[in-house]
Chains A and B, each alone.
Chain A
Amino acid sequence: MHELSLCGDLMEQVLAIAKAHHAKKIVSIIVRIGPLSGIEPMLLESAFSISRAGTLAEEAQMFTETLPIRVQCNSCGAESKAVINNLICGSCGDFNTKLLSGDELILARVELETADASPIN
């Protein structure tokens, strides 16, 4: 159950973004999770429902996107899909592979309700 302590970090980042943009409230939070990050999306969502109480994110929805595990072989160069406890090359079977995706833990997007939403930049 370290999802709850992780959620502390998440809330801090999200609230800082909301404050920087003078948001009235946080509408939604989108998080990208790779299976090898060790984070369980469902547990993170339930931890979030506890952490958000009494903050600008009180009514916010959290959406988690699970990313696929992909590896690249250092021997034959092939890219292949892998599963969490078998990261060997799908093409030649060598274990000398590099993880391309699957261990991410990324706060991807935040939707804020602001008084004025005119695009900047």
Chain B
Amino acid sequence: MKNLYIMGSAGSGKTAMAVGLALKFKQEGLKVAYFKPVSQGYEDATLMKELLNMSAPLEVISPTTASPFYLSRGNRSAEILATIKNAYEEVSRGVDIVIIDSAIFPHIMGTLGLDAPSLALELKAQALYLINIKNDYSLDQSIFFNQYIQNKGVPLLGNIFTHVPRPIQAKIEGVYKPLLDEMGFRTLGIIPRVRELSNPSVAQVYELLGGELLTGEANLDLLVEDIMVGAMTIESALGHMRRANNKMFITGGDRADMALAALETSTSCIILTGGLYPDVKVISRAVEKGVPVILVHFDTYHAIERLSELSGRITASHKESIQKALENVERYCDWQSIISSLA
């Protein structure tokens, strides 16, 4: 039995990669299981359990959680490790490959020696590190992690660039990939940005921000591709609004003019801040346009701060994104090498 540990930072597309690889392995006739030793909830476990028809219960697929205050519970290192190992035994029984998904960052629970590379060593897994590239610093960070993984003694299969914006593609091919090659790190894939996988839905925004949904219950699956704050004069705002497609538009509840202008341009949802209920006309227009309007009781700055945690997420019901995840693996990744390296 083989273990593949997928690591990467928040928003690097670990779950999408797990979905794509799992489905591909299955197509190749392999028995696949999914394991997420450290999580913050059961969303990913729920998704994979359904996708892979796993019999193990959720609390076994995803046995431990790490909140940002987990250390307050004291050092339970040995206990947690034992739980993880027991769960792993159960999940891996009778399968060919276990795909192990790391916590939102590879360093989570490093204080207890339970960071992703340490767990990979314990579970005898090989690592695949995903790179979400923004600029040269992102590459520095990836090499830092690559080297850490190797120094821990975990075999590193290589790297995959995920959510790659089109303008960077050329630079990856021409600059980043050769540099990684030189250092002995294999590039196993360059996956272009796909909106279904990289953009969050309005439902996720609503879940994250809370507040009141004033209208648009039926359209919570709209995707958010851009974020814009409306605090300028209406005449200058329109130019900006027209440039941002499928945007989440954030403005004060008392800015009826702003909200109405946003509704005339491409908008996925409107966030009204400050707990100010909008004019009924705004709601009427939003109902007509089918755009969700969410009222939150904190200010715009606070809303933006919370939204920084936002990234795209796959759910089992979203067939399109699952299909995209598989397609990405098939078209842009050297999955054959991944399988043969594991063997």
Is this pair of chains taken from one and the same complex? no
